[in-house]
Structures are given as C-alpha cells and as structure tokens.
A = this chain, B = another copy of it.
Amino acid sequence: MDFEQRLKAKKLKVTPQRMAILKEIEAYGHICIEELYEKIRIRHPSTSLATVYKNIAILCDSGVLSEVKIPGHKQRYEINQSGHIHVMCEKCGALEDLHIDFSDFKHNCINASGYDLSGLSAVFSGVCPKCGSASKKAIDSLDRNITESEAMIC
C-alpha cells in the first residue's frame, strides 16, 4: 500500500517514524500499542512512546487507521479498509479479517431499527480450524482437555 500518497493526501508529513508505524501495522495486521512500540524500536530505537501515541491518534482521526475493539481484549489498530469484519479464536487468540458481503444483514438491521446504517464494527468469536481439529483429536483420544484459559489475552 502506498502510505506516502495516503499521508500526503491528508496533508500529513511523511516522517520515518510515521512510515515505520504504518509498515509495522500493515505487517502484523492487528496490533496493540505496546506490541507496536516494541516492533518499532527494533529498527527505529530512538522512537518515543509519545510519538507512537500521537501518530496513532492522528492516523485514526484522519481515517488511515482504525481501531479494533474486542470484549475482554486490549484495543488494537489496523490499516483502515471498509467492508470487512473480524473473526477471533477463543482458544489461541488468532484474529483474522473476513472480507464478506454483509449487505443483506445490513438491510435487515435498517428495517428492524429504522436507522440509516452504514459502517459495521463486528467480531465473531469461536474456534479456528486449527484449534477445532486439535480439540476434536483430544476428545477422541481422551488425551487431555483443552481449557478456555489457553486463550491469549492481548
């Protein structure tokens, strides 16, 4: 993605710190502030936490980034792209984008609520294919129990 163009379009300056933030978020998909700060420090050790916070705020305000909020988890950030939702695995904590058409669902909600709806912030939770088959094997062989507490927090 051409972040330089997106920044210039928003009249924001292209600084190394800002580019590093965007590239790390792009690379990791969804990331919380501390993780982001750690990643950034690997290549740009002089970057301050305050700068990370300031840029996250500016980039969210200008629509370059968006917040991903999930009950029971820390807030994360992603490159803003409309028209997708998230799925999260309760066992391993995996979080994935799901690009899916939700216009039928949206129209149902418009009819039911009377609101003129546009954007959707949604996270389905469940079990990913990997954990699902692992859990099935465990039950089959009675080897061990998969516990809820294995789920990651951040």
Which residues of A come within 8 Å of B, CB atoms? 60, 66-72, 75, 85, 87, 89, 96, 98, 100, 102, 104-106, 108-110, 112-129, 132
Contacts and interface: CB of A to CB of B under 8 A. Distances in A.
A71 B69 contact: yes
A121 B118 contact: no
A5 B124 CA distance: 30
A112 B124 CA distance: 12
Contacts of A113: 87, 96, 98, 124
Contact of A125 (B72, B98, B100, B118): B118
A62 B70 CA distance: 18
Nearest to A110: B126
Contact of A105 (B72, B89, B102): B102
Given A66-B71, A98-B112, A108-B100, A121 B119 contact: no
A105 B122 CA distance: 12
A128 B118 CA distance: 11
A34 to B, nearest CB: 18
A87 B110 CA distance: 9
For A102, A108, A126, which residue has the most chain B Cβ atoms within 10 angstroms? A126
